[in-house]
Amino acid sequence: MSFPSWPAPLDRRRWLHSVAAATLTTRVAKASPRPALTIRFSHVVAEETPKGLAVQRFQALVEQRSDGRIEVLHYPGAQLYGDQDEMQALQLGAVEMLAPSLSKFGRIGFPEFELFDLPFLFNDAREVRRITEGAIGRRLLKGLSRHGLVGLGFFDNGFKQMSANRPLLAPADFKGLRMRVQASRVIAAQMRALGAQPVNLGFSETRRALANGVVDGTENPVSNFWTQGMHEVQSDLTLTQHGYLGYAVIVNQRFWASLAEGDRALLAQAMHEATDYGNQISEAQNSKALAALRVAGTTRIHVPTGAQRAQLRRAVESVHLALERRIGTAWMQAIRGAL
């Protein structure tokens, strides 16, 4: 498998840490015999997010249906690997499963995944589902084989909101702000179109960077904002709903091919059901996080008017055309047709 632009090489300390953590993981010893197969599932967000909960459902289904013969070790919160090294860990067999956000596939040779980052592309989750569960979604997952990956499905998080230490209701409010972004050219272009300066940072570094003033603001669904404690370091959250955040669940092709056919079928079915579950609860998890945020009272919550949202939308419209070549004209036409 060859990825075009790997970030920094996985260093030995983290490698050893992963091996040690895999051994010491907080699993209550079971009476059943040692599992024959262990799947380490690593991701960067908290356990009580839509992604964390979907992985836990997958874990429960797999362990129950395999009668404990297959165990799934769940490593949330970037405790094993972060954005910079998780793909390499998958490649090297240090973990078996990941669910990076769709915005993180462009830098490893799948720029078409950045179509999900186009601002104001989707009106609601039903439109997202039309893409992820339709022909475009299937083609996107199939294309992952180009670089030795197998895509098992799409998890939802939800719609992103903007945060900073001021309300972000109009393009003028973004002027001069350093906004943390994921490694997506589309998101970077969106921030520039709003007059902000995009700063690409790993997810696990974001809260600290906000606290230290290295960046002024960011965008994320409320579930991530809340579970990362970003409300403690951002005074204002504006419910812009300007873009979508979702994930592709991936495994290494070599690992997948090494499994018995029955196990592959069991894992694929469990993932299918875990995805359905995760996608059913994602909206509720974001609403719960918003309710918790209101109770915490640390952060002012702003709801843009229709006119303010339309103004933001106009300001970023140019991103769709400007990034068409990166995403691919055929993909853009397909998405326009499907929506």
Q: Which residue's CB is nearer to ligand SIN, number 55 or number 319?
A: 55
Residue closer to ligand SIN (CB basis): 46 or 335:
46
List the one residue from 42, 59, 91, 101 that touches ligand SIN (CB under 6 A): 101
Is the CB of 45 or the CB of 121 nearer to ligand SIN?
45
Question: Nearest distance from residue 2's CB to ligand SIN, in Å?
Answer: 24
Q: How far is the CB of 332 from ligand SIN (least distance, A)?
A: 24
The residue whose two tokens read 């409300």 is 231
User: How many residues are listed for the chain in this entry?
Assistant: 339
Q: Give the one residue of 56, 91, 182, 234 binding ligand SIN; rule: CB under 6 A.
A: 182
Bridge partners of residue 75, in order along the sequence: 42
* DSSP states of 161-194: EEEESS---SHHHHTT-EEEE-S-HHHHHHHHHT
Among 44, 140, 210, 293, indicate the residue that binds ligand SIN (CB under 6 A). Answer: 44
Assess 190 for contact with ligand SIN (CB under 6 A): no
- Own/partner contacts of 74-78, CB < 8 Å, gap of 24 or more, are 74/41, 74/47, 75/21, 75/25, 75/40, 75/41, 75/42, 75/43, 76/43, 76/44, 76/45, 76/46, 76/47, 76/52, 77/44, 77/45, 77/46, 77/47, 77/204, 78/43, 78/44, 78/202, 78/203, 78/204
Is the distance from CB of 283 to CB of 158 less than 8 angstroms?
Answer: yes
Output the smallest distance, CB 192 to ligand SIN, in A.
18
φ, ψ for residue 54, nearest 5 deg: -65, -40
Tell me the closest approach of the beta carbon of residue 185 to ligand SIN, in angstroms: 15
Cα separation, 211 vs 229, in Å, equals 10
In the complex with ligand SIN, the residue whose CB is nearer, 87 or 245, is 245
Q: Decide: 234 and 210 in contact? Cβ < 8 Å.
A: yes
Q: Restricting to residues 231-290, which ones interact with ligand SIN according to CB under 6 A?
A: 245
Q: How far is the CB of 226 from ligand SIN (least distance, A)?
A: 12
If one asks whether residue 18 binds ligand SIN (CB under 6 A), the answer comes out as no
Residue type, 235: S
Number of residues that bind ligand SIN (CB under 6 A): 9
CB of 247 to ligand SIN, least distance (A): 6
* Interaction of residue 203 with ligand SIN, rule CB under 6 A: yes
**What are the tokens at 89?**
């860990």
Residue 272 in tokens: 């299918």
Does 54 bind ligand SIN (CB under 6 A)? Our answer is no
Residue closer to ligand SIN by CB (options 101, 234) is: 101
Q: Does 187 bind ligand SIN (CB under 6 A)?
A: no
Candidates 84, 157, 161, 252; binder of ligand SIN (CB under 6 A) is 157
Site string for ligand SIN, 207-226 (x = CB under 6 A): -------------x---x--
Q: Which is nearer to ligand SIN, 161 or 182 (CB)?
A: 182
- What residue number has its CB nearest to ligand SIN? 203
Long-range contacts of 296-300 (CB under 8 A, 24+ apart): 296/231, 298/231, 298/232, 298/235, 299/163, 299/231, 299/234, 299/235, 299/236, 299/237, 300/167, 300/235, 300/236, 300/237
Rounded CA-CA distance 202/84 in Å is 7
Beta-bridge mates of residue 246: 156
| Shorter beta-carbon distance to ligand SIN: residue 319 or 332 | 319
Which residues contact ligand SIN (rule: CB under 6 A)?
Answer: 44-45, 101, 157, 182, 203, 220, 224, 245
